[in-house]
Structure 1
Amino acid sequence: MHVLIYIPWLIKEIFVAGFQVAWAGFRPDAGYDPVVVRYPLRVRSEWQIFWFTTSITATPSTLSLGLRAPEHAGEPHILLVQAAFGADPADVVAGLADMEERMAPHVKSIDHGVPGQGSATALDPKFYEYPTHRKEKTK
């Protein structure tokens, strides 16, 4: 039944993100601050991973870059995601967690210690990096 709720929600998110990207393109300071986050997946089946990564890539300003297998048994797969508006990586991760829960509600109780998956609000720097050298803004 959640599919009937998820698909319209995803379509809305695609349109909202598309308008945000278009609007940013008209501003002198577009606010692009690309970041790559390492998102610990709660979904496990190949089919769920496929749909989750496809949903991310279909949403403007985000891109699924790759999947890393767990280093040890019992650990989650790590999904690499690039976000064009990544000034706050914790917000990016929380948004991914929200999308994952909407797609697969049964994962809500799983917490890997990142924002959106439980009580964490801060994101450990090991979960993100900026692919370009960040320049300090001058006054």
Structure 2
Amino acid sequence: MHILIYIPWLIKEIFASGLQVAWAALRPNAGYDPVVVRYPLRVTTDWQIFWLTTSITATPSTLSLGLREPETPGQPRILLVQAAFGSDPADVVAGLADMESRMAPQIRDIDHGVPGQGSATELHPRYYEYPLGRKEQQQ
């Protein structure tokens, strides 16, 4: 982990997210659209997973929910993440990929086919769900 680069970047992200949440709380239409994404991890060690999940949880509006072991050998572990502003799940996953690659630059070339890890721009529906249903369905 490149701590001298990563920690200042993470502090900036925490403040930026905090301001986004504070601004949303002051608006009548806050824009909350909670989503749970299934993020295929590129990091593999317990220490790297600890730092990534801690960084996600320390960032306002996101929460690491847990890990899922791969269904078949050779596949990546899946990290479950809740994001309060999840109207674009592909953007949420791309943000997670950016955080992961900033924390562990050696994993940048690994691509599990989700946005932020390679050329993918769309996220397959198996990688996310809206626990409260979509807004369009609720109205």
Shorter-chain TM-score bucket reads over 0.9
Q: Which amino acid aligns with 1:102?
A: R
Matches within 5 A, 1:96-111: 96-111=96-111
Match of 2:11 in 1: 11
Identity %: 78
Structure 2, unpaired ranges of 5+ = none
Matches within 5 A, 1:18-97: 18-97=18-97
Structure 1, unpaired ranges of 5+ = none
Shift of 1:133: 2.1
Moved over 2 A (4+): none
Shift of 1:135: 3.1
Question: TM-score if structure 2 supplies the norm length?
Answer: 0.96
Shift of 1:137: 8.1
Query: Is 1:124 aligned to residue 101 of structure 2?
Result: no
Query: Aligned partners of 2:32, 2:104: CA distance in 1, in Å?
Result: 30
Q: Which amino acid aligns with 2:91?
A: D
SS at match of 2:13: helix
Aligned CA-pair RMSD? 1.6
* Count of aligned residue pairs for this structure pair: 139
